[in-house]
Structure 1
């Protein structure tokens, strides 16, 4: 599982920082999460292949999370894209994008599918044979979702030595990989655990931005491998965080602790602070495993 942070600062883009956007690579799938202004430039800088992006997830319709979307869609068309592109986001995202395409007479060269979200409950919005994506309802000034990306469990690994010792025919190998027991010709049942090894545990990534401190998300993100949680402010500006429905670094760490996640990645920093290390320092007073997201950083888990 690989996470590339394209941008992780709040509000407006600057010459040295970019608004929210990131790329998650999981089970050989590439997902673009949020699409702030300048995303396509950051994609190029970080050498992410446009052609590998088939699914884009938009958390909410504040500009610093989707103003780059029309640019990405248009550039894909200019490059002659023919592969379908799926957009998952709040109701209204289709109207916004199609109006821009209509008035500029810039219709895409590929099929563009919108999956608009309205539910206040967690729901599955994408699934294939490798990955499942669910929403994480967040509490912000407008309708907002985070996203939970989950690998599907892999097949069990064949214990070749054991299988050969029991003289099991190759025709039963797939059954063993699927977790099935094997009955020998004499009626003896060989339990699957003796014929195979546990697969690598599936990984889970939770993206949570923007939101006020909200313990309601804990059951959804419990024990995920990696949690990205917004940390717009420090605790010294807790009142401002509450007013704007954002979180502090300490609050992000508290969610990570209560959810028993393995790793916390911070982001969505207010640009009022000159050094993002202070966010990590504050979070580490609550939760030990903290990484500072920053534009251009890449984490492999």
Structure 2
């Protein structure tokens, strides 16, 4: 099953000629999750040939325009194209009110249901779960209420070694073996040892999205060891004071967090429009955490099992 992140936008508050406002698409199997929806997101979806009607969950980090101004337009296009499938929308307090008012004065009656889920941006809490993944909020430190999101695959079943399986095993017993249990006889004695007839399950993958925030070490336990970490890197370290004043981070700070969290890969984005060339930001981060890449628009990052 695929676990892929596509970058749709990577600019900060002011868009630049070749960088749009923040938006990402996380595909987990057939499930498409849109993370933030800055201005121009639906145009980016069209550019990269993504069918927006397949999006089933949208996660908004906070209510600064560069992270959600594209949402009313996207929802309206879904309306015009007669979407009928329900849509889950997660975001901070106020988002539902904004959209309801927008559609009220536009006289828009959506043909599909939006399930609004108001999130508490101050805590790490599970807000979504299905048979494949869980999603938790990650509290950020920004000028307004803001959170990131942690996507984690659930534990996967172990692999049965058919050549070593006794013929007498029943389907329920095979299921127990796949989930790591031994098979017992009626007296409670081990009949078949799990470790002897199965191998380790495939790796359960994870992605942490850290939106606009100051450098914040208290989230380290929440993101420790994730396969892929995205962290905003609005400035270079020579503008650390500016970053602190505006509640943003530098590339060096993002890399330091990645190093301390022992993540496998780091992706930096939300670049200030002042930087035409992003090479210095990448170099600054790689000096601390070598396995760093830029969130380049159109790029797809795959996380392997």
TM bucket normalised to smaller: over 0.9
Is contact 1:27–1:130 with CA below 8 Å preserved after alignment? no
The match for 2:84 among 82, 85, 109 is 82
CA-to-aligned-CA distance 1:184-226 (integer Å, 9 cap, x gap): 6996532111111111120010000100101011111011000
2:302 aligned partner = 300
Q: How far is 1:16 from its partner?
A: 1.7
2:167 aligned partner = 167
Alignment of 1:1-301 (within 5 A): 1-163=3-165, 166-171=166-171, 172-183=173-184, 189-301=191-303
Q: Which range is displaced more, 249-258 or 150-159?
A: 150-159
Question: Please, which runs of 5 or more residues in structure 1 have no aligned partner?
Answer: none
Tell me how far apart the structure 1 counterparts of residues 148 and 52 of structure 2 sit (CA, whole Å).
23
Tell me how far apart the structure 2 counterparts of residues 35 and 287 of structure 1 sit (CA, whole Å).
28
Q: How far is 1:95 from its partner?
A: 0.6
Q: Structure 2-normalised TM-score?
A: 0.95
The alignment partner of 1:96 has SS state of helix
Q: Which range is displaced more, 67-76 or 273-282?
A: 273-282
Is contact 2:92–2:121 with CA below 8 Å preserved after alignment? no
Tell me how far apart the structure 1 counterparts of residues 85 and 267 of structure 2 sit (CA, whole Å).
32
Tell me how far apart the structure 1 counterparts of residues 185 and 217 of structure 2 sit (CA, whole Å).
52
Q: How far is 1:28 from its partner?
A: 3.4
Q: How far is 1:13 from its partner?
A: 2.5
CA-to-aligned-CA distance 1:217-273 (integer Å, 9 cap, x gap): 111101100000000000011110011010000000000000000000010000101
The alignment partner of 2:46 has SS state of helix
Tell me how far apart the structure 2 counterparts of residues 221 and 122 of structure 1 sit (CA, whole Å).
11
Tell me how far apart the structure 1 counterparts of residues 52 and 272 of structure 2 sit (CA, whole Å).
29
Alignment CA distance shift 1:188-1:134 (3 Å): closer
Q: How far is 1:92 from its partner?
A: 0.1
Q: Which range is displaced more, 215-224 or 172-181?
A: 172-181
CA-to-aligned-CA distance 1:171-190 (integer Å, 9 cap, x gap): 23222112221236996532
CA-to-aligned-CA distance 1:24-82 (integer Å, 9 cap, x gap): 01243210000000000001111112121011000000000000000110000101000
Tell me how far apart the structure 2 counterparts of residues 14 and 286 of structure 1 sit (CA, whole Å).
27
Is contact 2:23–2:38 with CA below 8 Å preserved after alignment? yes
The alignment partner of 1:43 has SS state of helix
Q: How far is 1:170 from its partner?
A: 4.5
CA-to-aligned-CA distance 1:151-183 (integer Å, 9 cap, x gap): 0111111111110xx334342322211222123
Question: Please, which runs of 5 or more residues in structure 2 have no aligned partner?
Answer: none
The alignment partner of 2:144 has SS state of coil
Is contact 1:230–1:267 with CA below 8 Å preserved after alignment? yes
Q: How far is 1:114 from its partner?
A: 1.0
What RMSD over aligned residues (CA atoms) do the two structures have, in Å?
1.4
Tell me how far apart the structure 2 counterparts of residues 142 and 281 of structure 1 sit (CA, whole Å).
30
The alignment partner of 1:148 has SS state of strand
Alignment CA distance shift 1:188-1:226 (3 Å): closer
Is contact 2:225–2:262 with CA below 8 Å preserved after alignment? yes
Is contact 1:154–1:200 with CA below 8 Å preserved after alignment? yes
* Residue correspondences, number: 299
